[in-house]
């Protein structure tokens, strides 16, 4: 099973991307999942794109059950989102890489924000989890994918709340 999610967000692509590029939003989201934002950086890229790099730390007990047997204490997660410039319709794409420090686990995904006017965006996320752990890798992947899909759903819900509260 791969990661696949679609969600309509009742805000423009521009507002969503502005929130995603905000350290305050990342702190808000980290708090919702029980992690701590350790670092956050936005770098401009060519032709209107940008790269968001963040590092979060979370207790291993926030991970799927099987992962809790492998990881103890705190887990450090590095996330890199590489955003394209908007296309002619205002839509954008982000290529995301997620890595867990010291673990042979990696997730890659693409998020497309399809502009549907000024008040609505269709977010589609497609990705995969790669786990290179002998004997339990496939089981760990099977538990991780729905966990990540829930995070994608939460992110869409929380970005909408964040934008509304920024007002």
Any idea what DSSP says for residue 62?
A: G
3-166 maps to which CATH number?
A: 3.90.380.10
For 131, residues 6+ apart whose C-beta sits below 8 A from its C-beta are: 104, 105, 137, 138, 140, 141, 144
Strands 74-83 and 36-44, bridge-based pairing? unpaired
Q: Return the pLDDT at 1.
A: 53
Q: Return the pLDDT at 133.
A: 77
pTM of the full structure: 0.89
User: Closest Cα to residue 16, out of 120, 142, 136, 131?
Assistant: 120
| Mean pLDDT (10-residue bins), the chain, 167 residues | 88 96 96 94 91 94 78 90 95 94 86 93 93 82 82 90 90
Domain boundaries, the chain: 3-166
């Amino acid at each position: 099973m791969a990661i696949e999610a679609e969600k309509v967000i009742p805000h423009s692509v521009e507002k969503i991307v502005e929130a995603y590029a905000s350290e305050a939003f990342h702190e808000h989201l980290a708090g919702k999942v029980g992690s701590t934002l350790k670092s956050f950086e936005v770098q401009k890229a060519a032709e209107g794109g940008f790269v968001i790099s963040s590092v979060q730390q979370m207790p291993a007990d926030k991970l799927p059950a099987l992962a809790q047997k492998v990881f103890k204490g705190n887990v450090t997660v590095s996330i890199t989102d590489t955003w394209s410039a908007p296309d002619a319709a205002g839509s954008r794409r982000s290529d995301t890489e997620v890595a867990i420090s010291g673990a042979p686990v990696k997730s890659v995904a693409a998020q497309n924000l399809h502009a549907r006017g000024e008040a609505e965006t269709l977010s589609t996320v497609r990705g995969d989890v790669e786990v290179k752990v002998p004997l339990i890798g496939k089981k760990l992947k099977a538990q991780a994918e729905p966990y990540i899909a829930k995070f994608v759903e939460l992110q869409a819900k929380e970005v909408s709340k964040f934008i509304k509260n920024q007002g």
